[in-house]
Structure 1
Amino acid sequence: MNFTDAIAFLEKEVPNPSAGLPDELFYYISKTTPLVNVDLLIKDENGRILLAWREDPIAGIGWHIPGGIIRFKETFAERVQKVAQLELGVDSIQHDPTPLALNQLILDDHEIRGHFISILYNCSLPETFIPENRGIFNTDPGYLMWHDTCPDNLLKVQNIYKDFL
Structure 2
Amino acid sequence: MSHLPLDVFKQVVQNTPLISIDLIIKNNAGQVLLGKRNNRPAQGYWFVPGGRIVKDETFNNAFSRLTQIEIGKVYSLSNATFLGPYEHLYSDNLSGVDFTTHYVVLAYLITFNGDLSDLPEDQHNGYRWWDVKTLLTSNNVHDNTKAYFLSSSSLT
TM over 0.5: yes
What corresponds to 2:7 in structure 1? 24
- Structure 1 position 143, deviation (Å): 2.2
2:22 and 2:119 map into 1 onto residues whose CA distance is: 23
1:69 aligns with 2:52: yes
What corresponds to 2:115 in structure 1? 130
Unaligned runs of 5+ in 1: 1-17
Q: Which residue of 91, 101, 104 maps to 1:114?
A: 101
Per the alignment, in what secondary structure is the counterpart of residue 31 of structure 1?
A: helix
Larger deviation: 46-55 or 144-153?
144-153
Contact 1:42 1:124 (8 Å CA) reproduced: yes
1:154 aligns with 2:154: no
* Superposed CA RMSD: 2.5
Identity of aligned residues (%): 24
* Number of residues of Structure 1 aligned to a counterpart in Structure 2: 140
1:100 aligns with 2:83: yes
| TM-score normalised per structure 2 | 0.75
Contact 1:35 1:115 (8 Å CA) reproduced: yes
Give the partner amino acid of 1:143: G
What corresponds to 1:37 in structure 2? 20
Give the partner amino acid of 2:28: E
In the superposition, relative to structure 1, how do residues 67 and 76 fare at CA in structure 2: closer, same or farther (>3 Å)? same
1:63 and 1:38 map into 2 onto residues whose CA distance is: 17
In the superposition, relative to structure 1, how do residues 114 and 44 fare at CA in structure 2: closer, same or farther (>3 Å)? same
Give the partner amino acid of 2:7: E
- Structure 1 position 90, deviation (Å): 1.5
- Structure 1 position 48, deviation (Å): 0.7
1:113 and 1:87 map into 2 onto residues whose CA distance is: 24
- Structure 1 position 61, deviation (Å): 0.8
- Structure 1 position 46, deviation (Å): 1.0
Contact 1:27 1:112 (8 Å CA) reproduced: no
1:51 aligns with 2:38: no
Unaligned runs of 5+ in 2: 93-97
